[in-house]
A and B are shown apart, each in its own frame.
Chain A
């Protein structure tokens, strides 16, 4: 036996590595890891450019439907942070937000506000005009949010367009570009064009008490972000949503609100996949609102699809025009609320 340390090292290494064999499947495993890493890094690139963020959305849209990474034990703080980062990324990318809402034991219709009244410090209920558009009911609603544009379309169970409701920039009679709400309710043969300039156009500041994403608000991303920053969610494991092993979060009880919201996040992108909210009516009946989200990069194809949706719904000029002060807001109605 030699005392030479080099020789002993060599022999030691020979013994350690005897019969070494590369396990099968290393290459395919490496490819899978790389794929997951690429998706995760793209979606987390909140600090990057809009193009990077857009690429993240594209990649996620293209790759993720087969399912994300294996479930991991995560802390709510980590999940919240990643979700906030992901939502900031799609905001930077100026992504098109698409939302498909369906309801059980409820419909989609309008709450019409008289803006002249709502502007005057009246209690909120006093500004609601319950008789206006009360008969308009849709079974599902699709919404798009892009830049300053909000487009909401209600459909019957048979897929017929029931209403179109938009908030966007229109040209006033004086030739100025002003924000306005406009749309039409086809069964009621009614249309509206309500300028949102001046104090009426101001939105109330979002607070934790109102950060309730399930309320079909037209400011979904901001509402979800607010709910996350208010730490309103708790982790509730994983659940398969559309083939994805989604991270499930349940909203903690809010003071004075019996409705409970569930939020599912894509485990690869941490973007919201779905929200659902169970709403208990005044007679104890429960309605369920489910909203599925898509976050689309503003590619030519996606913008063309949005453009097509905008022009799909024409607003006939022969329809009865609501007074300019009446502002119809599309949303989810539980049965008692939809029956004046």
Chain B
């Protein structure tokens, strides 16, 4: 039977699943502060209209989270504001020959240089291990869009990461 979710139910969900939700928000936002902002914005969105629910509310919150990351941030142009900062970070890391560059961290930072929808697709597909169908359903787009966004996103990451990877590191996409 449907029941209305109030603040107590959301508090309980965050107590039980807050770590995972926050992790997703951080991955989408690129930092803990941005992730916190993103999760906060998603919570505000779902609390704005209390609704009768009889299904997975974590899924509902996640869907809002993904879509805010994919659409809302792009509309506000925040990702563009971050570009100069991130570019200089990546270039500084690449220029330092003596530093031990951890390509994994660099890659995650470079994900922020992708447009929001590509970023959301990358997080959903390659971190949350969701299928193309699930990703398309969560982001409200077609599987073809997910495929092309993932492909373009990875290609762009390769291009961006090439200076950091150095001569000895060859980036290849593993196809499953």
Contact = CB atoms under 8 A, between A and B. Distances in A.
Interface of A: 2-17, 19-23, 26-31, 33-34, 37
B36 interface: yes
* Listed residue (A14, A22, A37) with the most chain B CB atoms within 10 angstroms of its CB: A22
Contacts of B20: 20
B48 A12 contact: no
A125 to B, nearest CB: 60
A19 B10 CA distance: 21
Contacts of A27: 7, 10-11, 14, 43, 47
B104 A11 contact: yes
B68 interface: no
B108 A30 contact: no
Given A9-B104, A22-B18, 15 more contacts: A3-B170, A13-B108, A13-B126, A13-B127, A15-B108, A17-B23, A17-B24, A19-B19, A20-B26, A21-B22, A22-B21, A27-B14, A27-B43, A30-B43, A37-B44
B173 A9 contact: no
Nearest to B165: A3
Interface residues of B, number: 43
B104 to A, nearest CB: 4
Nearest to B174: A4
Nearest to B43: A30
Contacts of B27: 13, 16-17
A130 B45 CA distance: 64
A8 B47 CA distance: 36
A22 B158 contact: no
Contacts, number: 101
B103 interface: yes
* Listed residue (A19, A20, A29) with the most chain B CB atoms within 10 angstroms of its CB: A20
Contacts of B103: 8
A6 B24 CA distance: 17
Contacts of A19: 19
Interface in B135-176: 154, 157-158, 161, 169-174
Contact of B43 (A3, A4, A12, A26): A26
A309 to B, nearest CB: 39
B86 interface: no
B127 A21 contact: no
Nearest to A13: B127
A5 B165 CA distance: 11
Contacts of B173: 4-6
Contacts of A11: 104
Contacts of B174: 2, 4-7
A100 B141 CA distance: 58
Nearest to A32: B44
B171 A5 contact: yes
A30 B126 contact: no
B34 to A, nearest CB: 11
A34 B49 CA distance: 10
B56 to A, nearest CB: 18
Interface string B2-31: 000001001100100011111110110000
Given A3-B171, A10-B126, A27-B47, A15 B104 contact: yes
A9 B19 contact: no
A22 B108 contact: no
A15 B105 contact: yes
A137 to B, nearest CB: 53
Nearest to B11: A27
Q: 5 tightest CB-CB pairs across the interface, nearest first?
A: A22-B18, A17-B23, A12-B108, A12-B104, A4-B174
Contacts of B108: 9, 12-13, 15-16
A5 B104 CA distance: 9
A124 to B, nearest CB: 56
Contacts of A7: 174
A26 B103 CA distance: 33
A6 B19 contact: no
